[in-house]
Amino acid sequence: MSRPIRRDQLIAATAFVFAPTAAHAYVDPGSAGFVITSVLGFLAAGGYIIRGYLGRLKRRVFRGDRKAEDSDVSDATDG
């Protein structure tokens, strides 16, 4: 009794057949610096974006508390 071929086995077999065995290319030393700089830039940009969203969230949370306190004080002084 034979088992059916699973999808992941088919993908692995296809990748194995079509994958090159050797790459005959030259990678100069400057390429590594470019890759490292790009990765560091993406990490810095991601950190900046996360910092901005956390700052907005923090302001929204703390301003919400102040608005509630301010409205209580203004209601007491109005009447």
In degrees, to the nearest 5, what angle opens at C-alpha 49 toward C-alphas 65 and 30? 160
User: For the whole model, what pTM was predicted?
Assistant: 0.45
3-state secondary structure 23-49: CCCCCCHHHHHHHHHHHHHHHHHHHHH
Which amino acid, residue 52?
Answer: G
Query: Model confidence over 31-44: pLDDT tens digits?
Result: 888 999 999 999 99
Query: Model confidence over 39-62: pLDDT tens digits?
Result: 999 999 999 999 999 999 988 888
Distance CA 2, CA 7 (A): 16
- Would the pLDDT of 76 be above 70? no
